[in-house]
Amino acid sequence: MYEDFVEFVKDLYKFKSPVALHAPYFNGKEKAYLLDAIESTFVSSVGHYVNRFEKEFANYVDSTYAVAVVNGTAALHIALLLAGVQAQDEVITQPLTFVATCNAISYCQAYPLFIDVDLNTLGLSAAKLQSFFEQHTIQKNKACVNKITGNVVRACVPMHTFGHPVEIDLIAKLCQEHHVELIEDAAEALGSYYKHKHVGSYGKMSVFSFNGNKIITTGGGGMIVTNNEVLAKKAKHLTTTAKLSHPWEYSHDEIGYNYRMPNINAALGVAQLEQLDSFILKKRALAKQYQDFFAKKDDIKFIMEPTNAISNYWLNAIILSNKEKRDEFLRFTNNTGIMTRPTWQLINKLPMYKKCFTASDDNAKYLSERLINIPSGVSE
């Protein structure tokens, strides 16, 4: 039944088997920069490439400051701390997301608060966020309080799923009106824009990921971006073990974290960032080919970028008519050398988060039973 899709993908990827869901692509100056970092002997957390990567990344996403860290989860953990998230607070996010989003919230001893996604963006729904604020919260001393749990709703973390931007301007407005700090989880959305602004530029802070499967990779790595100098300096301080600057003394003034990105990883990031525009062009071209292919299929919908958005199409996605069809597609493709995967299990259904407050999740449930990611790697 799905033989034509398998042949189509094998042709796209020049009959290489198996076809990965998303593999890193190294065709720039990665080896030269890595060798340069090795020869400098600065391969750990201090070095030219860390500074260069931070500066060039900030410029790319239209931010003033960027702080490189060891991974995207660490970036979100620090951003939440800097946003004032405390024990027993609640942090709004979406049930359809990678578990790291909620793990970072838990590191602050806070609780995820789940609000449904939109079917067109796959990310946090602005309309349902508004309904939650109107129906379930009150304002006390310029703090947003959940009337059901009695906890302060301190922050909101929408995730731009698979690189498709949410309606972030509306979400930002709602958060401001209700005294909730906005932190964008743009881990998957480097190179995506909403209303001509790069995602990650709407909140006080935003985070990105450079895991091995992301649009650019440093092997493992993440970035905190902000336009606030005080927050940027604090982020750098906390992620470098809160060490006070001194030529030889080891002195620390608070509990810090060893979240520093090594110079050798940053060298890889600089080389990858130089190729990012070409990666996005190729990925958007691939998405167009998929769009044309699935336009002929009545029972499969290809996920297109939302209105007012330019998506990086990090992971292409399709929606099948029901869970049975989804599972059939997954079995057939994976058994024939084409890596496909379902979306994540809903986070509010996992044992460690199932007791957290869920305002709504109907769309998330619908997608979790039908959505499949298909091969999306950059190829020649």
Q: What percent of the chain has a predicted confidence (pLDDT) above 70?
A: 99
Q: 247 versus 277: which is more confidently predicted?
A: 277
Contact present, 215 and 190 (Cβ < 8 Å): yes
329 and 301 in contact (C-beta within 8 Å)? Answer: no
Residues in the chain: 380
Containing 341, the helix (H) or strand (E) segment is strand 341-342
Helix axes 30-40, 263-274, angle to 10 degrees: 150
Identify whether the C-beta of residue 144 lies closer than 8 Å to the C-beta of residue 133: yes
In 3D space, the residue among 128, 164, 98 whose CA is nearest the CA of residue 346 turns out to be 98
Q: Taking 80 as the threshold, does the pLDDT of residue 95 lie above it? A: yes
Render pLDDT for 325-363 as a digit per residue (tens, 0 to 9).
999 999 999 999 999 999 999 999 999 999 999 999 999
pLDDT band at residue 43 under the 50/70/90 scheme: confident
The yes-or-no verdict on residue 20 having pLDDT over 80 is: yes
Tokens standing for residue 210:
């450079």
Confidence of residue 278 (pLDDT cuts 50, 70, 90): very high
Alpha helix locations (H) across the chain?
A: 3-12, 30-40, 48-60, 72-82, 99-107, 126-136, 168-177, 229-239, 263-274, 276-294, 323-335, 362-370
Domain extents for the chain? 3-24+276-342, 30-275
Span 164-182, average pLDDT: 98
Read off the pTM: 0.95
pLDDT (mean) for 170-184:
98
What rounded mean pLDDT belongs to the chain? 96
In this prediction, residue 380 carries a pLDDT of: 61
pLDDT at 14: 84
Tokens read off for 202:
């709407």
Provide the pLDDT confidence category of residue 153 given band limits of 50, 70 and 90.
very high
d(CA 43, CA 60): 24
CA 156 to CA 177: how far, in whole Å?
Answer: 13
The confidence score (pLDDT) of residue 379 equals 73
Domain 30-275 top-level CATH class: alpha beta
What percentage of residues in the chain have a pLDDT greater than 90? 93
Which one, of 81, 66, 14, 43, lies nearest residue 268 by Cα? 43
Span 255-278, average pLDDT: 97
Retrieve residue 125's tokens.
């729904």
Phi and psi torsions of 132, nearest 5°: -60, -50
Of 143-147, 210-214, 246-250, the one with minimum mean pLDDT is 246-250
**CA 101 to chain centroid:** 9
Report pLDDT for 134: 97
